[in-house]
Amino acid sequence: MNRSHLTLGQLSVKDGTSNTLMFGETIGGTGIGGRNHAMTWMGCGALPTAWGLGRANHEPITDGGADWYRFSARHHAVVQFCFGDGSVRGIRYGTSTKLFTPDWHCLSALAGVNDGQWWNVECLCE
């Protein structure tokens, strides 16, 4: 979190740094045609995982496609994320583009702060 007084250890003590998302990539728009927005990892603030991961070349509303409010990529199967331990791993789309599926819950657990829900992290990681 920007300007937070919490340390990485305090944020990830229950989950471990290898199970805590720090930042990820985004297309910055719908993924169909040109970009709508330009975002940087330091400048865009926060991007939620609440709407799952967005796929390029899919409609955002009806087909789980990329949009400005989703982590997204033009990769065929994954969106790249940096974890708290410094590793970079791809998170599979799976069914995380649809709300309340097991993959969506897994993505939410990875993004959770100090929630102790590291148990199902392997469900999405490449």
Report the predicted TM-score, pTM, of the whole model to 2 decimal places: 0.78
Q: What integer pLDDT is reported at residue 44 of this predicted model?
A: 58
Q: What integer pLDDT is reported at residue 126 of this predicted model?
A: 54
Q: What is the DSSP string of 14-58?
A: TT-GGGSEEEE---SS-SSSS-S----TTTS----STT--EETTS
- Is residue 115 one of the residues assigned to a domain? yes
Q: What integer pLDDT is reported at residue 43 of this predicted model?
A: 60
**How many residues in the chain?**
126
Q: With a cut of 60, say whether residue 35 has pLDDT above it.
A: yes
Mean pLDDT of 22-43: 77
Chain segment 75-123, per-residue pLDDT in tens: 888 899 988 888 999 888 877 777 777 788 888 888 877 666 655 555 5
Please state the domain count of the chain.
1
Q: Which residue has the higher pLDDT, 95 or 24?
A: 24
Q: Residue 101 to residues 66, 90, 107, 108, 110: CA-CA distances in angstroms? A: 18, 19, 10, 11, 15
Q: What integer pLDDT is reported at residue 1 of this predicted model?
A: 60
- Is residue 2 one of the residues assigned to a domain? no
Q: What integer pLDDT is reported at residue 117 of this predicted model?
A: 65
- Report whether 125 contacts 90 (CB < 8 A): yes
- Is residue 1 one of the residues assigned to a domain? no
Please state, rounded to an integer, the average pLDDT across all residues of the chain.
78
- Tokens standing for 49? 């995982």
- Is residue 3 one of the residues assigned to a domain? no
Which residue do the tokens 């069914």 mark? 95
Domain that holds residue 54: 8-123
Q: What integer pLDDT is reported at residue 88 of this predicted model?
A: 93
